[in-house]
């Protein structure tokens, strides 16, 4: 490692109060989602911060009051050296009025080696460490030959995929590697995926409650059904498929049966004086890193339509499906693509090596039990990992907190990785071609 980088790393320790102050500043911005539409001030702060470090800034509204910020620091020899995206989200989990915090969730406090406040673990700690690492590199006039992009996005907590917009803007995101600095307890992680869907059972005709006897007794002469009752067969079919998946599918690092189909919300009927003519079921589907949401939604549709063919009424009134969505707030739907991590990838190996050098412990490469925006970067063909401070027992929790020691270790690791990755020459660098 270059001598000057060793001196910069020492400054992380010497100036840790500045790092903690930066994290506290980010926590003070009240950015819970829901309700969302509240990140403009915080994102403007990040934009100004990056601009002061020499980044060019692209800032635009994903939704009114919720802008994305993408900062680009052009490398001194970007044609021949590898590029990096650092990604984090500014929104934090919602806070209920009845939660028993030590102090206001957006008034950070420090005690017993931790910083407490909403977003400390998920994931303003990750953003603060990334920003401070970049600041130290710039203040010490450390040149970076490769391009460095920082994406500070909105909407992750409510499936609004600010990262997707950041990836599609201006011709699409391009980089040789990406680090999503979300909550991972300093593990290097991939993730399974999540998609929500609505299954609808609907009758073409609507019947008065008094006609129910004609539908269910011999000689009633009326072919009809309650959509609510028929939905119970759909739910049973989903349970059968879920159990089948648990038996027939697996993925290294994922607990058996982590691929689940959760019937989360049911809506049906219009009034007690009617036979229910429509019923809608909202489901959440978790799937493995080596699967796509198109694949698993297709499997569900095929199975449920086969279930419907075995029912005298459903075969003529088959269920319909609506998958995903751009926002849990706007249209009650979301997608988080899965993300596989290749342990042999050069970026993964370098990050693991830097982690071991800084921490003195071997890096853990595994699978996150939750989801992040990492899948959107992976879907762009960019090798991506999740690597950030904080643990999931604190994410979204009352008195959410992050370890200061871990935050310092993470900042040192990320600083070193930015330096080393940026100084890595691309394959075929003599031609200036990009290789992901």
Are the C-beta atoms of 121 and 391 separated by less than 8 Å?
A: yes
Residues 30 and 72 grouped into a single domain: yes
3-state secondary structure of 435: coil
Query: Does residue 329 belong to any structural domain of this protein?
Result: no
Query: What are the DSSP E strand ranges found in 237-305?
Result: 261-268, 274-275, 278-287
Catalytic: 91?
yes
Domain CATH for 23 = 3.40.630.10
Residues 293 and 150 grouped into a single domain: no
In the listed set 260, 295, 323, which residue is the last one of a domain according to the structure?
A: 323
Are the C-beta atoms of 164 and 255 separated by less than 8 Å?
A: no
In the listed set 266, 292, 323, which residue is the last one of a domain according to the structure?
A: 323
Q: Domain tally for the chain? A: 2
Residues 414 and 376 grouped into a single domain: yes
Range of the domain at 277: 193-323
Residues 314 and 401 grouped into a single domain: no
Tens-place pLDDT, residues 198-243: 999 999 989 888 888 888 888 887 788 999 999 999 999 999 999 9
Query: Does residue 334 belong to any structural domain of this protein?
Result: no
Global pTM? 0.93
Tens-place pLDDT, residues 355-368: 999 999 999 999 99
Answer whether residue 1 shows pLDDT above 80: no
Report helix angle 3-14 to 125-139, nearest 10.
130
Answer whether residue 436 shows pLDDT above 80: no
In the listed set 299, 323, 347, which residue is the last one of a domain according to the structure?
A: 323
Angle, alpha carbons 368-168-194 (nearest 5°):
30
Tens-place pLDDT, residues 137-157: 999 999 999 999 999 999 999
Q: Minimum mean pLDDT among 30-34, 217-221, 252-256: which range?
A: 217-221
Tens-place pLDDT, residues 35-84: 999 999 999 999 999 999 999 999 999 999 999 999 999 999 999 999 99
**What are the backbone dihedrals phi and psi of residue 172, each rounded to the nearest 5 degrees, phi first?**
100, 150
| Alpha helices (H) in 30-172, listed in sequence order | 40-52, 125-139, 162-168
Residues 184 and 201 grouped into a single domain: no
Catalytic residue among 66, 122, 147, 156: 156
Residues 198 and 187 grouped into a single domain: no
Domain CATH for 216 = 3.30.70.360
Residues 287 and 406 grouped into a single domain: no
Average pLDDT of the segment spanning 113-127: 98
Catalytic: 344?
no
Residues 197 and 185 grouped into a single domain: no
Query: Does residue 82 belong to any structural domain of this protein?
Result: yes
Residues 166 and 25 grouped into a single domain: yes
Catalytic residue among 91, 157, 182, 291: 91
Residues 15 and 114 grouped into a single domain: yes
- Mean pLDDT, all residues of the chain: 95
Q: What is the pLDDT of residue 121?
A: 98
Tens-place pLDDT, residues 360-406: 999 999 999 999 999 999 999 999 999 999 999 999 999 999 999 99
Residues 80 and 162 grouped into a single domain: yes
Residues 217 and 348 grouped into a single domain: no
Query: Does residue 214 belong to any structural domain of this protein?
Result: yes
């Amino acid at each position: 490692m270059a001598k000057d980088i060793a001196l910069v790393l020492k400054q992380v320790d010497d100036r840790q109060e500045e790092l903690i102050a930066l994290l506290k500043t980010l926590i003070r911005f009240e950015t819970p989602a829901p309700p969302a539409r509240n990140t403009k001030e915080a994102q403007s702060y990040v934009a100004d911060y990056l601009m002061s470090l020499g980044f060019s800034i692209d800032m635009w509204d994903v939704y009114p009051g919720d802008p994305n910020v993408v900062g680009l620091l052009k490398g001194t020899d970007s044609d021949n050296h590898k590029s990096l995206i650092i990604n984090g989200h500014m929104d934090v989990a919602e806070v209920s009025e009845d939660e028993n915090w030590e102090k206001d969730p957006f008034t950070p406090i420090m005690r017993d080696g931790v910083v407490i406040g909403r977003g400390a673990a998920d994931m303003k700690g990750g953003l603060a460490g990334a920003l401070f690492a970049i600041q130290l590199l710039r203040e010490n006039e450390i040149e970076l030959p490769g391009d460095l992009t920082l994406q500070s996005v909105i909407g992750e907590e409510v499936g609004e995929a600010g990262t997707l917009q950041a990836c599609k803007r201006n011709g699409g995101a391009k980089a040789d590697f990406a680090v999503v600095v979300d909550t991972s307890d300093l593990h290097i992680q991939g993730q399974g995926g999540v998609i929500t869907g609505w299954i609808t059972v609907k009758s073409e005709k609507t019947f008065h409650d008094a006609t129910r006897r004609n539908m269910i007794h011999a000689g009633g002469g009326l072919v009809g059904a309650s959509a609510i009752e028929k939905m119970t067969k759909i739910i049973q079919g989903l349970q059968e498929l879920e159990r089948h998946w648990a038996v027939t599918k697996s993925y290294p690092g994922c607990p058996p049966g982590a691929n689940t189909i959760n019937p989360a919300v049911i809506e049906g009927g219009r009034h007690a004086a009617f036979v229910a003519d429509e019923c809608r079921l909202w489901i959440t589907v978790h799937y493995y890193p080596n699967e796509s949401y198109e694949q698993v939604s297709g499997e569900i549709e095929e199975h449920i339509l086969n279930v419907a063919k075995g029912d005298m009424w459903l075969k003529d009134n088959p269920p319909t499906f609506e998958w995903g969505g751009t926002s849990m707030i706007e249209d009650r739907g979301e997608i988080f693509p899965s993300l596989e991590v290749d342990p042999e990838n050069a970026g993964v190996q370098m990050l693991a090596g830097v982690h071991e050098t800084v921490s003195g412990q071997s890096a853990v490469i595994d699978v996150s039990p939750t989801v992040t925006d990492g899948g959107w970067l992976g879907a762009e063909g960019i090798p991506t990992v999740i690597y950030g401070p904080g643990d999931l027992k604190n994410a979204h929790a009352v008195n959410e907190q992050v370890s200061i020691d871990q935050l310092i270790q993470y900042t040192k690791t990320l600083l070193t990785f930015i330096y080393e990755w940026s100084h890595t020459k691309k394959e075929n660098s003599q031609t200036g071609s990009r290789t992901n």
